Amino acid sequence: MRAAAGCAILRGMNIARILVLALCLRLLGAPASAEQSVAPGANRHYLAPQVAVETWVRRFETESREVYAERHAIVAALDLAPGARVADVGAGTGLFVPLLAHAVGDSGRVFALDIAPAFVDHLRERVAAHGLGNVSVVTSAVDAVPLPPASIDVAFLCNVYHHLEYPQTVLASLKRALAPGGRLVVVDFERIEGLSPRWILGHVRAGREVVAEEIARAGFLPAPAAHAGMLTQNYLLTFTRP
């Protein structure tokens, strides 16, 4: 009897230690999922303690960057109706946030998400400066989008997918957050061996075919590519949540 009781106590202690360890890892930013990182360190520059957001604003918001030059066309391609709920996943410096807020109107909602504290602070400042009452800034996690089930109609990732360390768990969280029939729109760099610039080949882990396969594996359905030829340095893919 005493031996059995002792074993039970030890098991209880072990379980308690496991729970405490899991909580500590979560607080330290370690992912809860079992998925292995496919891009270790992909976000290290944004998560550094001393991030100069102004440097990233100058880098991201310049006419020489295709997604900036074509920002209005990209938002138009999202075909957002007034009242729509859209998540700008990996919103970064907030380039698209005012445009999305205008597109969905006062009756709509924009969730601007990022994992980097410096970007989150900058997003809040930008939202306040523009008086965007229909925008909520959300601190995201490296392995999940913390939005309630069926809370959005469109999930938008622009030059963000290649930064996902845990694509399958992030996609699972996006699938939960999207309402049935909701859309996932991904804009990312074209990566073609032998054709793409060296920096893209070194920085972007996969081309559009691999990205499309990963998204399909997560349970999304490809949608017609009405805007397939709109970009040259990037591609635009649309999927729906069944």
Rounded CA separation 7/9 (Å): 5
Q: Where are the domains of the chain?
A: 1-30, 42-240
Reply yes or no on whether the pLDDT at 12 is more than 60.
no
Question: pLDDT grade, residue 224 (50/70/90)?
Answer: confident
Rounded CA separation 94/82 (Å): 20
Question: pLDDT grade, residue 15 (50/70/90)?
Answer: very low
Does residue 239 sit in helix, strand or coil? strand
* pLDDT per residue as tens digits for the range 153-191: 999 999 999 999 999 999 999 999 999 999 999 999 999
Determine how β-strand 221-222 pairs with β-strand 234-240. antiparallel
For the domain 42-240, what is the CATH superfamily, name and number? Answer: Vaccinia Virus protein VP39 (3.40.50.150)
pLDDT for residue 228: 67
Q: What is the pTM of this model?
A: 0.84
Segment among 82-91, 130-139, 196-205 with least mean pLDDT: 196-205
Q: What token pair was written down for 47?
A: 């998560």
pLDDT for residue 233: 95
